[in-house]
Amino acid sequence: MSTIYSVSFWLLFFVLVGAGEGTTFTFVNRCGGTVWPGVLSNSGSPQLESTGFELASGASRTFVAPTGWSGRFWARTGCNFDASDRGSCATGDCGSGQLQCNGAGAAPPATLAEFTLSSSASSSSAAQDFYDVSLVDGYNLPMTIEANGGTGGGGGGCAATGCAADLNKRCPAELRVGEGEGEACRSACEAFAKPEFCCSGAFASPAACRPSVYSQMFKSACPKSYSYAFDDPTSTFTCSGGAGYTITFCPASSPPSQKSSRDSPSTPKATGGVMLEDDSWLASLATGEASTAWRDVPFIHQPFLILFIVFLLL
């Protein structure tokens, strides 16, 4: 970044903050290694200061978005960039071939932080921001959003949200991809490309598209995050009064595992009293091959499996 560009940015920063016409975003990396956040502005919103940058473990970075801005943030992992900032990432790659995403979004699976800022510069309660953490495109690492300042009113606004759990540790085998820094958990939509999972075609409405076994697994681990396309009531948050926001990667005190379960010897998994060699039975049940999956479960274990499925659907 040139000296002139740097000075110009900080002048813009202080002008926006001083005039109350911008929202401050602070990115914090508590993961055990470097992440490379990506930034995508929605159509009609201006590009921010950066569309992709490196964030070392323990580091933070702050910049300002103008009023009315909308877009998303995510973390790329397992990246390799040369001296000219050319390269790619194992998860969350935006396909630009560069450190900067330049208007391209994250390739799933990736955990997303989504924002729509108020178009009003007022600090009143009418100037309302909307935000959420989404697992609709899958999951690659834990992420939370915290509002700084602002007013929530009596409706519980300005609440923290996100997914602090390490879903890679509990991801079913049929959704799991990658290893090490490239480990991630796909959505059922990406894995099976079926309308009932993607909320498309005949399922493109809240009434028709209901939570699946997979989205309920995500929701159970991260109750405040979007688990499927029509998960709005429990997943969208608001804040008024000119708040700033902190997006934290790997917010838990212990960072997510960087070692894939595939690197360890295979062991049966205890689930609801039923010992299973893998999670492929879940895909069979969810994609209509229930009879085959059911026959694969020993008779003595079938009552336990029924109880487990009922528990997931509650």
The answer to whether residues 256 and 282 belong to one domain is no
- In a domain, residue 272? The reply is yes
The answer, yes or no, to whether residue 288 has pLDDT greater than 70, is: no
The percent helix, strand, coil of the chain (3-state, each to 5) is: 25, 25, 50
Give percent of the chain with pLDDT exceeding 90. 64
The answer to whether residues 59 and 114 belong to one domain is yes
The answer to whether residues 247 and 281 belong to one domain is no
Q: What is the mean pLDDT of residues 173-199?
A: 96
What is the pLDDT, as a whole number, of residue 217? 94
Q: Sign of the CA dihedral 264, 164, 46, 108?
A: positive
What is the pLDDT, as a whole number, of residue 156? 55
Contact 247/25 with Cβ under 8 angstroms?
yes
The answer to whether residues 306 and 230 belong to one domain is no
Q: What is the pTM of this model?
A: 0.75
The number of folded domains in the chain is 2
Separation of alpha carbons 271 and 286, rounded Å: 17
The average confidence (pLDDT) of the chain is 80
Q: What is the mean pLDDT of residues 276-305?
A: 46
The answer to whether residues 253 and 270 belong to one domain is no
- In a domain, residue 193? The reply is no
- In a domain, residue 6? The reply is no
What is the pLDDT, as a whole number, of residue 302? 52
Give percent of the chain with pLDDT exceeding 70. 70
pLDDT tens, residue by residue, 45-97: 999 999 999 999 999 999 999 999 999 999 999 999 999 999 999 999 999 99
Sorting pLDDT into bands at 50, 70 and 90, what band is 12?
very low
Residue 88's SS3 state is: strand
- In a domain, residue 239? The reply is yes
Which residues constitute the domain of residue 129? Answer: 22-187+222-261
The answer to whether residues 252 and 284 belong to one domain is no
The answer to whether residues 40 and 53 belong to one domain is yes
- In a domain, residue 281? The reply is yes
- In a domain, residue 243? The reply is yes
CATH number at residue 247: 2.60.110.10
The answer to whether residues 30 and 107 belong to one domain is yes
Q: For residue 161, give both structure tokens.
A: 């949200």
pLDDT tens, residue by residue, 39-55: 999 999 999 999 999 99
Sorting pLDDT into bands at 50, 70 and 90, what band is 122?
low
Q: For residue 199, give both structure tokens.
A: 């909320």
Contact 35/53 with Cβ under 8 angstroms?
no
Q: What is the CA radius of gyration of the chain?
A: 21
Q: What is the mean pLDDT of residues 155-168?
A: 88
Sorting pLDDT into bands at 50, 70 and 90, what band is 119?
confident
The answer to whether residues 253 and 309 belong to one domain is no
The answer to whether residues 254 and 282 belong to one domain is no
- In a domain, residue 288? The reply is yes
Sorting pLDDT into bands at 50, 70 and 90, what band is 241?
confident
The answer to whether residues 228 and 301 belong to one domain is no
The answer to whether residues 240 and 270 belong to one domain is no
- In a domain, residue 197? The reply is no
Separation of alpha carbons 115 and 177, rounded Å: 27
Query: Which is it for strands 143-148 and 161-163: parallel, antiparallel or unpaired?
Result: antiparallel
- Quick count: other Cβ atoms within 10 Å of Cβ 142? 25
